[in-house]
Amino acid sequence: MSPRKTYILKLYVAGNTPNSMRALKTLRNILETEFRGVYALKVIDVLKNPQLAEEDKILATPTLSKILPPPVRRIIGDLSDRERVLIGLDLLYDELADNAFSSGYMDAVDEQNDTSTPDSPTDS
């Protein structure tokens, strides 16, 4: 499923630490495979820009913050748990909801289109 919304994301990292680099690599992989260009990602190095981390109340790195679409969500850690990241970004939930809706909707349409009627009694 391709998302219909544009995602605005911020990834807070602390320099080139292994966890920060792993988070960035994993996130880029997820974004390229799942979001296909409908996102904007800003990588913020808290060592170079501590005021940005302070303004956004970032206490640990790496931290991924989803700004848009609402609600704002934060995921802390190296983002290695792909499913957790997708749920945190509301992508996996949306995909599951869309599939359930589509399936349920099609079942309802099939039931409405079923024009068969019980055999009416015949005069014999």
Any domain includes 95: yes
For the domain that residue 15 is a member of, what is the CATH number?
3.40.30.10
Of 66 and 93, which is predicted with more confidence?
66
Residue 2 resides in a domain: no
Question: Is 102 or 51 the better-scoring residue by pLDDT?
Answer: 51
In a domain, 29, yes or no: yes
Whether residue 65 lies inside any domain: the answer is yes
CA atoms of 98 and 84, how far apart (whole Å): 18
| DSSP-assigned states of every residue in 17-76 | -HHHHHHHHHHHHHIIIIITT-EEEEEEETTT-HHHHHHTT--SSSEEEEEESSSPEEEE
Range of the domain at 104: 7-111
Does a structural domain hold residue 122? Answer: no
Percent residues over pLDDT 90 in the chain? 43
Contact 52, 24 (CB under 8 A): no
Residue 1 lies in a domain: no
Query: Which of the two residues, 72 and 35, has the higher pLDDT score?
Result: 72
Full-model pTM: 0.69
In this structure, the dihedral spanned by the alpha carbons of residues 30, 35, 40 and 46, taken in order and rounded to 10 degrees, is: -20
What's the domain count of the chain?
1
Q: Is residue 94, in this structure, part of any structural domain at all?
A: yes
Decide if 15 is inside a domain.
yes
